[in-house]
Copies of this chain bind each other. A is one copy, B any other.
Amino acid sequence: MASLGTTAKTPRKKPLQARAQATVEALLEASAHILASAGYEALTTNHVAERAGVSIGSLYQYFPSKEAIIGELVDRHCDEMNRLFAEVFLASSHLSAPQLARAMVSAFYRSKCRNPALSRALREQLPRVKRLNRLEASLDQMTEVIAAYLTTQRPLLRVETPKQAAFYAVHLVEALCMASLRDPSALASPEAAVNEITDIVMRYLFP
């Protein structure tokens, strides 16, 4: 491993032509597949390049380091999650609290269902790659939005501290969605899981 400290942090080149874009996508897809199916241990640059069907040299034309690939993977995952969260929140903000809650839990659950194995790997296998903070940051941002919403609902609220309530609510939903995802066979259907989780949060937040 050449000194990580001096590794360039910016890509060597931007992919301009269509085939270069395809190369980048293939590399990211290969990384996601390896991470999801074989774990972080198996995620070596050579392995990624091989699976992507490109040479190791090409990999380093577009990613300055192995960490940069993972970073991009995390970034995309977070962006997708944030996008869905914002979309559903806005689209459902006029609904009642229970309906909104259900919509949010469902959205969260479905966003993880797109690629359960990858979701798990990103959450569980990424050894403190600095970038993983972005996932925590996403949750923190959600917490703030929820806290603001709860403040507007204060009269109806069972709890008195919206910020704290949002913290527990978000972590609760995240953890139970991931847990349900891990073992979907032993438990009920996805819809049932969403219902149950929604129920738990609602009972906590509202009378």
Contact = CB atoms under 8 A, between A and B. Distances in A.
Contacts of A124: 127-128
A168 interface: yes
Contacts of A172: 172, 175-176, 200
A85 interface: no
Main secondary structure of the interface of A (DSSP, over half): helix
Contacts of A197: 168
Tallying the copies of this chain within the complex gives: 2
B167 A187 contact: yes
A125 interface: yes
A188 interface: yes
Contact of A196 (B40, B168, B186): B168
A203 interface: yes
A70 to B, nearest CB: 13
B175 A171 contact: yes
Contact of A187 (B128, B164, B203): B164
A200 B164 contact: no
A196 to B, nearest CB: 6
A203 B202 CA distance: 10
A142 to B, nearest CB: 13
A191 to B, nearest CB: 14
Contacts of A56: none
Contact of A175 (B40, B175, B199): B175
Interface string A90-119: 000000000000000000000000000000
A64 interface: no
Interface string A158-179: 0000001001100110111001
Nearest to A164: B187
Contact of A200 (B41, B125, B187, B200): B200
A167 B179 contact: yes
9 contacts: A39-B127, A39-B128, A164-B196, A168-B200, A171-B179, A172-B172, A175-B176, A203-B203, A204-B204
